[in-house]
């Protein structure tokens, strides 16, 4: 007979979340002055609220499109259905059967049953597609990259449509910078070679059916156990901001590695060094600090979620006189821009290829912090 803890654990495991929120990574949770609202703007169902050091995600309102997980610069929002790994596995299998053509279709396109379901991978919405999976396929030498939509104009989640175009443009810019001719194609019909006329027998539980069924089963189970879980939640003391941010004993904020971006860099490295000297991207940023205005407060290094901006080593006088910056670690979250009281930081979305692939950080020398006026200096001034 399971005890209460077992039941709560099962309920939590079955909770029908399409997205896991690692809230300590969110720039708004880290600092209430951060302006990022990309997830809120991208979500077609109002499932996310952000503000005042809080990120709230409603599993009930979520329609599992994945749009928020693609636009979040800090990878706070992690897709659970399908996971990136599952998506990569299913496309790898489909790609072999489709002779090297990698095709992704949304659930609406798949529901038309006009193509062999074994030869493409299905996602709830094409808004789930992002650079690491597509660039990974390019690095594996696929002959085509195709996204098949189900006529977004009439889809009830059509608000995701511009986001899908933005992803296609982002990947195509990277491919162009690489100097290869492969491009992501977006179509409203399956490629000819995948189409079938007689679909009977090919469709058991389709992948769409699988995801939908899994969602329904999980939702039912979660709902049945919700009362117990709720009771347990109410008994819990609300965690402090410090706990939610997973601060260490010294009060430092945690930093993380942006895994999807690392996969994109790996893929670019496999394809070959980009031929473009610089390119525009939403994935990485180029930080400039106006050292004339900088007060050397190091706030940017404290709040940067990835450590792209960090303090240099202490000099012989025991003080830090410089900041180091790594383009490859910068996720273009603009936290540093938002929190700098002197407004001396700018983040550009044009990155240089040599900076991106350079493992040595750029060193930015800072001015001496102004001396605080003390009693004696005040007396002298009089």
> Where on the chain is the footprint of ligand SF4 (CB under 6 A)?
18-19, 26-28, 36-39, 42-45, 47-48, 50, 55, 62-68, 71-74, 76-77, 285, 287, 304, 306, 308-309, 330-336, 347
Q: Give the tokens for residue 300.
A: 């940017």
Nearer residue to ligand SF4 within complex by CB, 62 or 194: 62
SS3 state of residue 112: coil
Nearer residue to ligand SF4 within complex by CB, 42 or 94: 42
As to burial, measured by CB atoms within 10 angstroms (0-12 exposed, 13-18 middle, 19+ buried), residue 321 is middle
Nearer residue to ligand SF4 within complex by CB, 21 or 95: 21
CA distances from 129 to 72, 216, 259, 270, 327 (A): 13, 23, 15, 21, 24
The least CB distance from residue 97 to ligand SF4, in Å, is 29
Which helix (H) or strand (E) segment holds residue 338: the answer is helix 335-339
CA distances from 113 to 69, 102, 108, 241 (A): 28, 18, 10, 49
The least CB distance from residue 15 to ligand SF4, in Å, is 14
The least CB distance from residue 104 to ligand SF4, in Å, is 16
The residue whose two tokens read 């930080």 is 287
The least CB distance from residue 274 to ligand SF4, in Å, is 20
The least CB distance from residue 179 to ligand SF4, in Å, is 27
Nearer residue to ligand SF4 within complex by CB, 99 or 165: 165
CA distances from 315 to 183, 290, 322, 381 (A): 49, 22, 9, 32
Nearer residue to ligand SF4 within complex by CB, 48 or 139: 48
Nearer residue to ligand SF4 within complex by CB, 40 or 276: 40
The least CB distance from residue 80 to ligand SF4, in Å, is 10
Cα separation, 204 vs 11, whole angstroms: 29
Strands 345-348 and 54-57: unpaired
The least CB distance from residue 360 to ligand SF4, in Å, is 16
Q: Hey, which residues does 104 pair with through a beta bridge?
A: 121, 147
Cα separation, 237 vs 223, whole angstroms: 23
Nearer residue to ligand SF4 within complex by CB, 77 or 225: 77
């Amino acid at each position: 007979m399971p005890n209460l803890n077992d039941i709560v654990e099962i309920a939590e495991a079955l909770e029908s979340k399409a997205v896991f929120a690692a809230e300590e990574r969110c720039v708004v949770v880290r600092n209430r002055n951060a302006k990022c609202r990309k997830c809120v703007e991208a979500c077609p169902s109002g499932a996310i609220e952000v503000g005042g050091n809080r990120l709230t995600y409603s599993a009930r309102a979520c329609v599992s499109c994945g749009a928020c997980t693609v636009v979040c610069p800090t990878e706070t929002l992690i897709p659970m259905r399908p996971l990136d790994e599952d998506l990569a596995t299913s496309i790898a299998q489909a790609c072999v059967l489709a002779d090297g053509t990698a095709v992704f279709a949304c659930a609406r396109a798949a529901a038309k049953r006009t193509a062999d379901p074994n030869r493409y991978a299905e996602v709830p919405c094409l808004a789930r597609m992002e650079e690491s999976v597509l660039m990974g396929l390019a690095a594996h030498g696929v002959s085509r990259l195709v996204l098949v939509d189900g006529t977004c104009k009439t889809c009830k989640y059509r608000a995701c449509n511009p986001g899908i175009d933005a992803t296609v443009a982002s990947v195509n810019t990277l491919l162009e910078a690489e100097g290869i001719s492969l491009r992501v194609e977006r179509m409203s019909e399956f490629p000819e070679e995948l189409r079938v006329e007689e679909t009977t027998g090919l469709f058991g539980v389709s992948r769409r059916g699988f995801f939908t069924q899994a969602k329904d089963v999980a939702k039912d189970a979660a709902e049945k156990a919700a009362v117990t879980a709720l009771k347990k939640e109410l008994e819990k003391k609300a965690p402090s901001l410090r706990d939610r941010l997973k601060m260490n004993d010294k009060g430092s904020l945690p930093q993380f590695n942006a895994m999807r971006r690392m996969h994109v860099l790996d893929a670019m490295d496999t394809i070959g060094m980009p031929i473009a000297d610089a390119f525009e991207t939403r994935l990485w940023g180029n930080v400039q600090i106006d050292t004339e205005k900088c007060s050397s407060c190091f706030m940017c290094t404290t709040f940067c979620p990835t450590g792209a901006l960090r303090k240099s080593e202490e000099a012989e006088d025991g003080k830090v006189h410089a900041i180091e910056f790594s383009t490859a670690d910068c996720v273009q979250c603009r936290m540093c821009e938002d929190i700098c009281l002197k407004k001396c930081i700018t983040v550009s979305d044009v990155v240089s290829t040599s900076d991106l692939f350079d493992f040595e950080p750029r060193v930015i020398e800072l001015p001496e912090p102004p001396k605080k006026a003390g009693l004696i200096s005040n007396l002298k001034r009089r």
